[in-house]
Structure 1
Amino acid sequence: MVNYILRRIVFMIPGLIGIALITFIISRVLPGDPAVMLAGEQAPPAVVEKIRQEMGLNNPLYVQFIDYVKQLLQGDFGLAWHTGNTVLGDFATRFPATLELTIASFIIAVLVAVPVGIIAATKKESVVDHISRIFSLIGACVPVFWLGLILISIFYSKLGWAPAPLGRIGEDINPPTHVTGLYLIDSLLSGDFIAFKKMLSHLILPAICLSTGTMAIIARMMRSSMLEVIGQDFIRTARAKGIYERTVILKHALVNALIPTLTVLGLQFGYLLGGAVITETIFAWPGIGGYVTESILATDYAPIQAFTLISAILYSVINLAVDLLYGFIDPRIRYE
């Protein structure tokens, strides 16, 4: 097991270097000059040139990349000049908001999609199955930005059931005492149930919006995996022995169908964590997504490169964790 983990970590390194190189090159060839953005459009050419020299933008690309890798090896992701803070400092401030939104979206997706997939598989070609497939297709096809605007229009503008999409908590409520950075957990730990209720009301719409695509994918995979397992001999044998149908489905079929579904769950959690940019922008959620959007508009290289690299690391770690979970679900799986 230990050797397997170490081998996987070693295999991650070339991929991360490649991602860092590709991101570095793309960020340099995009239109826009960070020196001009920092100095201002009306700045004299001499001032712009001085800033370019200080930022190292006049050096050859390979020299800039080597300097960038040296900084990464020292744990330095650079300075976000459009905020005046270090990139790691900005990430530490904003990442809890993104993580909280991701976890909430993931929980909603799993709680809805897994039962829907199981029911659709056990009642194949029924009305329930057809309805689940229609909703899965809609959920996979509907653009997130459109769905977010529709949810805001209905539940905030027309019905008034949801608060204004202006962040994690209302302006009239102070954030809970900082413990984890996750407002829901911090409000529970501090016993501030007013903040908890307010935070939950702000979280529910963006979480639903972000979870729809993931919900559709998980439901379709769960249905497909369950149909494949239900048709196998050991399920027919269990039914022939007179075992209750619920036991056959939940104890025998579901456990075996979880392996392919677990892969999708891991990938989708990584997708939610790294792909919440549009949702955070629509709902003014103060997470990493909005921060990266601001960085792109400001032609600020360091946050964009850090976001891409950290997302790749998270994807790799999540995939490794999913592979290790296989052994707990199916004891026949061994790591050599």
Structure 2
Amino acid sequence: MAASGSSLKSYLLVRIAMVIPTILILLTLVFLLMRVAPGNPVTAALGGHAPPAVIKELTHQLGYDRPLYQQFGLYVWHILHGNFGTTITDKRQVTEIILQNGAATLELTVAAMIVALLVGVPIGLLAGRFRDRPVDAVTRLFGVVMYAMPVFVLGLLAQILFGSILNWLPISGQASPLTTALMTTHTNILLMDAVIDGNWPAFWDVFDHLILPATTLGLVFAGVFIRLVRVNVIRTLKDDYIEAARARGIRERAVVYRHAFRNALVPVITVIGLEVALLMGGAVLTETTFNWPGIGHALYIYLENRDYAAVQGIVIVFGLVVVASSLVVDFISALIDPRMRYK
């Protein structure tokens, strides 16, 4: 038991140590990409209409006229102190954008992940259980189509069908204007704020607005889980301990659901960490399609305005979230599967 605990601790220390160079590489790449972009970021953000004196003064205030190594040092220093910069176009702190818009993105991505797991895992299990049968062919086709479908195309189709034709669900925004105006903000996560206040009409209004974007984004990534669970269920059903369970007379249903399915879920937990990065990227398109007020939508607006300072700060936060989620998933995987600690 002590050796097992020691190996887990060593594994976690190594993974945490690896985070430091990963973050440093991320910061360097984002910094260089923003600096090699053509044109002066201040001129681009102001649309080229500001007087030269104003552009020069703002360039000096932001430090863009300093040597590159000084800019990089100041940039890293600010980030270490939690300062991700100030936007050029509207003078907002990127930290403020993250706190306000990030809550909406968190709400969307968590809901989308739940949809992806609820759809992908049972269908993948079904496909693996009935391999090479008609149900397997149908579920595999569904998974391929969902994963290959661009999220904005699926979103537009959902808006047309469920919003315009059937008129079942709202197709834009995080809540109706009246709900937003009357709600008290505690966490900026509207579902949670409604629960805290016991405001159930507001809760269901926010929930209705969440259904289409979360389902759209979740279905796209459900395709990954369908294929992953299917492959691992098929592989697990060939293992010796499964054959031994069958030889002992255990019913096939119990063999599949109690033994094979449980072990097939271990790789799924690992992939969830990778899916966070894809979900964050998919959130940009989903939020833009559904006018969802998250970080992705804010990033799209700042990209349109060529506000490189805002883009730089938001992309860094995206990267840090992905690194943190990967670290958490590695810890959970090592806790569940001891073999991970010795790789």
So what's the TM-score if we normalise by structure 2?
0.91
- 1:108 is the counterpart of 2:115: yes
- 1:170 is the counterpart of 2:176: yes
Residues 40/121 of structure 1: CA separation in 2 closer, same or farther (3 Å cut): closer
Report which stretch shifted further, 298-307 or 222-231: 298-307
Aligned equivalent of 1:219, options 219, 226, 230: 226
State how 1:187-336 maps to structure 2 within 5 Å: 187-330=194-337, 334=341
Q: Distance in 1 between matches of 2:50 and 2:339?
A: 67
Q: Distance in 2 between matches of 1:310 and 1:238?
A: 48
- SS of 1:78's partner is coil
User: Which consecutive unaligned segments of at least 5 residues does structure 1 have?
Assistant: none
**Aligned-residue offset at 1:143:** 0.8
User: In structure 1, what residue type is equivalent to 2:177?
Assistant: E
Q: Distance in 2 between matches of 1:297 and 1:40?
A: 11
Match of 2:103 in 1: 96
- SS of 2:65's partner is coil
Aligned equivalent of 1:58, options 57, 65, 79: 65
Report which stretch shifted further, 275-284 or 3-12: 3-12
Q: Distance in 1 between matches of 2:293 and 2:34?
A: 24
Q: Distance in 1 between matches of 2:342 and 2:144?
A: 37
Report which stretch shifted further, 237-246 or 268-277: 268-277
State how 1:5-16 maps to structure 2 within 5 Å: 5-16=12-23
Q: Distance in 2 between matches of 1:32 and 1:141?
A: 36
Residues 301/159 of structure 1: CA separation in 2 closer, same or farther (3 Å cut): same
**Aligned-residue offset at 1:302:** 2.7
Residues 177/309 of structure 1: CA separation in 2 closer, same or farther (3 Å cut): same
**Aligned-residue offset at 1:274:** 4.5
**Aligned-residue offset at 1:150:** 1.0
Q: Percent identity?
A: 37
Residues 190/121 of structure 1: CA separation in 2 closer, same or farther (3 Å cut): same
Match of 1:140 in 2: 147
Q: Distance in 2 between matches of 1:181 and 1:260?
A: 33
So what's the TM-score if we normalise by structure 1?
0.93
Residues 141/334 of structure 1: CA separation in 2 closer, same or farther (3 Å cut): closer
Q: Distance in 2 between matches of 1:176 and 1:44?
A: 42
- SS of 1:85's partner is coil
User: In structure 2, what residue type is equivalent to 1:254?
Assistant: F
User: In structure 2, what residue type is equivalent to 1:285?
Assistant: W
User: In structure 2, what residue type is equivalent to 1:150?
Assistant: L
User: Which consecutive unaligned segments of at least 5 residues does structure 2 have?
Assistant: 1-7
